[in-house]
Copies of this chain bind each other. A is one copy, B any other.
């Protein structure tokens, strides 16, 4: 895209979404020239993210313009609403015209349920790889998977790598490199446990237990 073109990027917000899934790419996109970011939900009421922060959508499903990039993330609140017909219909509608159909983390499950990953390879959070495969998607274990116009990221923090990758595709490598510099994305994780392979089976099992406990209030509320 050139500087003179307005690029419409839509980020779907929902209760219990993981804020870092969305804020990683959002921070990257906000550094791009001529990008307009839409934060989209059913209403403009505040939405509580899964780390407890209240955020305000600025666009509704109903009044959202045609997007160039549609993106949805994962979150602890996701399983409770991933069959929501309004969300899936919105994804389908935008997906029929968007240049790029994208997700971070468990957001790929929404895309799959909307039928947007049939015949595509997609990345997701390691904890839902089996669920994504069960939806007929070829699961990638890459941090960012590009399959034609489907661009999908792995879990949570992969959203930063994902955002920089999309920035580079939309506006070229130089601006993406500059944004990486401005975000000082020169990571030095304090531990070497960022993937299930590195963490080992015992830590994976314990982490999944914590995840279940965190997710239970959302599932109770939904049933």
Q: A residues within 8 Å of B by Cβ? A: 18-20, 23-24, 26-27, 29-31, 37, 39, 46, 50-56, 58, 105, 125-127, 143-144, 154-158, 160-161, 164-165, 168, 173-174, 176-178, 180-191, 193-196, 198-199, 203-204, 206-207, 210-211, 214
Contact = CB atoms under 8 A, between A and B. Distances in A.
A187 to B, nearest CB: 4
B183 A156 contact: yes
Nearest to A189: B185
One complex includes copies of this chain to the number of 2
Given A143-B186, A157-B183, A181-B196, 8 more contacts: A26-B53, A30-B51, A31-B214, A154-B184, A157-B186, A161-B188, A178-B193, A186-B195
A23 B164 CA distance: 18
Contacts of A144: 188, 190
Given A157-B187, A160-B187, A191-B180, A52 B31 contact: no
Nearest to A51: B30
A205 B184 CA distance: 15
A58 B49 CA distance: 13
A184 B164 contact: no
A31 B174 CA distance: 36
